[in-house]
Chain A
C-alpha cells in the first residue's frame, strides 16, 4: 500500500542553524506534498506545500524541494528559532487520500 517514510525522527539544532527533514513516498500517483507543524497540544497546521509540477518552493525561512523521479521531498528551515520547535509531518496525496509520515520532533536550542 501507499507509504511515506520520514527522517530523522528527532532533530536537535542550535538556534540560527538550518534544519532539514526528508521524506520518501511510494505511490507514483502522488501529486501534492504538504508539510505540517504541530505544537504540543495543538492541531497540525499547514506551513508549506508543493505540487508535482514544481521542483522547489520557498516561503521566507522555509523551503521545500521535490524530486519526483526519486520520489522524495524535503523541508528546509533556515535561521532556526526556538519557536520552530515542534513536530513536523510530511504528507503525500494522490487522489483523495493523504498519507502522513511518522513525524520529526525538532528541538531548537537557544
Chain B
C-alpha cells in the first residue's frame, strides 16, 4: 500500500486565478496519476506524471490549463490555471504500488 497526502484539502478561489495542488507519497513510485471527480461523477484521468519527463495528458486536458511538475519520485504538483466555475471539482492524485491508491483529494470551488 501507500500513504498519500494532498495539500490543500479544499480551497475556494476566484475566477481567473490559479491553484497548485501538492501530492506527497511515502514511497518512491515511477508514475503518479492525477484525476478529476466532478460532483456525483466518476473519476476522469487528467494526466500521468513520470519523474524526469513531461506529463502525458488525456484527451480533453492540455498542459497550459493543467501544468504538472514531477521533481522527484515521491512528489508531484498539479496546477489548475485560469480557473472558471466549471473547474469546481475534486482533484485526486493516485499511485499504483501495484494496486491503485488515491490521495484524500482536494475539493476546489471556483466562484
Interface size on B, residues (CB 8 A): 18
Stretch at the interface among B12-20, B21-29, B41-49, B68-76: B41-49
Number of A-B residue pairs, CB cutoff 8 Å, is 38
Q: Cβ of A46 < 8 Å from any Cβ of B?
A: yes
Query: Does B102 interact with chain A (Cβ within 8 Å)?
Result: yes
Residue B110 CB within 8 A of the other chain: no
Seen from chain B, the residues whose Cβ lies within 8 Å of a Cβ on chain A are 31, 33, 41-45, 48, 59, 92, 96, 99-105
Q: A46-B101, A102-B41 are in contact. List 15 more A-B contacts (CB 8 A).
A: A34-B99, A42-B104, A43-B102, A43-B105, A44-B102, A45-B102, A46-B99, A49-B99, A93-B100, A96-B96, A99-B45, A100-B43, A100-B44, A103-B41, A103-B42
15 contacts between A and B (CB under 8 A): A1-B59, A43-B92, A43-B103, A43-B104, A43-B105, A44-B92, A49-B99, A89-B43, A96-B31, A98-B45, A98-B100, A99-B45, A100-B42, A101-B42, A102-B41
